Structure 1
Amino acid sequence: MAKFDVFGTTMIAIQHQDQWQLSIDSGLGLRRPVKDVVLPPSLDENELAQYLGDIYHEWATDRHPHIVKLS
């Protein structure tokens, strides 16, 4: 599991059966699956931040200019 702050939105990527499943984390224990983005199964966890940045770059703001990997 990899957790990211994607320009102010917390997203979680879980690898299941060699496929990445992306969801938005509500912060309250609820996750909403992201169905309109497919993460290539060949990506490793270290490449996810760059890929998410390429997809969601329009979400960037002065307050949230980067993607941050969360622990």
Structure 2
Amino acid sequence: MKFDIYGRFQLEVRRENDAWEVYHLEPGKRAKVSELVIPPELDADEIATYLDDIFHELAGLGQNVESIS
């Protein structure tokens, strides 16, 4: 799953070995974000809300974390 964080950057979240792994996406590369831990018990449909809770200080008026393909 890929997410646009308020138009500032993109993250990819993948389920690996019963845990959520987070990667920062840039053109042509992907870097693991080890300092961001998503609770393993969260369902996939809860990830965008969780990321919005974590990064809400970066949001402008009316902005949300958006799922992208």
| Residues 39-66 of structure 1, C-alpha deviations (whole Å, 9 max, x = no match) | 011111100000000001111124x711
- CA–CA distance in structure 1, aligned partners of residues 58 and 12 of structure 2: 17
Q: Equivalent residues in 2 for 1:38-57 (5 A)?
A: 38-57=37-56
Q: Equivalent residues in 2 for 1:5-16 (5 A)?
A: 5-8=4-7, 9-16=9-16
- CA–CA distance in structure 1, aligned partners of residues 29 and 44 of structure 2: 22
User: Quick one: which amino acid aligns to residue 2 of structure 2?
Assistant: K
Q: Return the TM-score normalized by structure 2.
A: 0.88
| % same residue | 35
| Residues 2-45 of structure 1, C-alpha deviations (whole Å, 9 max, x = no match) | 1010112111001101110001100x231121121110111111
Q: Return the TM-score normalized by structure 1.
A: 0.86
Aligned to 1:65: 63
User: Quick one: which amino acid aligns to residue 10 of structure 2?
Assistant: T
- Any unmatched runs of 5+ in structure 2? none
Q: Aligned with 1:65: secondary structure?
A: coil
Number of residue pairs matched? 68
